[in-house]
Amino acid sequence: NAGVTQTPKFQVLKTGQSMTLQCAQDMNHNSMYWYRQDPGMGLRLIYYSASEGTTDKGEVPNGYNVSRLNKREFSLRLESAAPSQTSVYFCASSRQGSNQPQHFGDGTRLSIL
Amino acid sequence: AQSVSQHNHHVILSEAASLELGCNYSYGGTVNLFWYVQYPGQHLQLLLKYFSGDPLVKGIKGFEAEFIKSKFSFNLRKPSVQWSDTAEYFCAVKQGANAGNMLTFGGGTRLMVKP
């Protein structure tokens, strides 16, 4: 059971380049999320998708776009990468319901030069 | 906006010492509370959760947490830590019944256990 799969695991970009981070889950979860993790700041929500066909902004959406391609897949796009977007990005998924825990992928470590 | 505070950013303990990590949140309504652990180089894993009932919840690997509503706190405890507990610990809060099931995370506490 793969759970939440993120690709790639590592990526280095130059400022201004574009990039799409991929995320897929095989747990039939309705909700999916993208976070960034920065030292001392915990995880901050970038975008989420409560269900297939819907997406909403989280705490730090600027500079990012998302696509909920189908129930399984939720991608995060950086249209014009900036050094401030250097971070570790985590995708997560969950069943609907406020007491449902989120399940996380292994993360994508992204460096922007 | 809701916030979650973890006051201890770094904790160093010797094996067999007792552990308590603080977590306080700001939201006054119904909440669901979680503790996640992130071992070096790995993704976040759920340690335990609280959503109703007994305010003392037990999780995996001997961890427990107590929800004290009057103090807006959900502190994590373990009576005797092991070297393998070296990790970063995150408290997270979800407002009850909010759309999208959004979690708000604390800044994390990095625990180092010396053998």
Chain A residues whose CB is inside 8 A of the B49 CB are 99, 101
Tens of pLDDT along B46-95?
A: 999 998 899 999 999 999 999 999 999 999 999 999 999 999 999 999 87
In this predicted model, which residue has the larger pLDDT, B14 or B43?
B14
CB–CB of A42 and B94 under 8 A? no
pLDDT in tens, A3-46: 999 999 999 999 999 999 999 999 999 999 999 999 878 899 99
3-state secondary structure of B86: coil
3-state secondary structure chain A: CCCEEEECCEEEECCCCCEEEEEEECCCCCEEEEEEECCCCCEEEEEEECCCCCCEECCCCCCEEEEECCCCEEEEEECCCCHHHCEEEEEEEECCCCCCCCEECCCEEEEEC
CA distance A20 to A66: 9
| CA R_g for chain B | 14
Contact B77, B63 (CB under 8 A): yes
Chosen from A5, A102, A103 to mutate, greatest number of chain B CBs within 10 A: A102
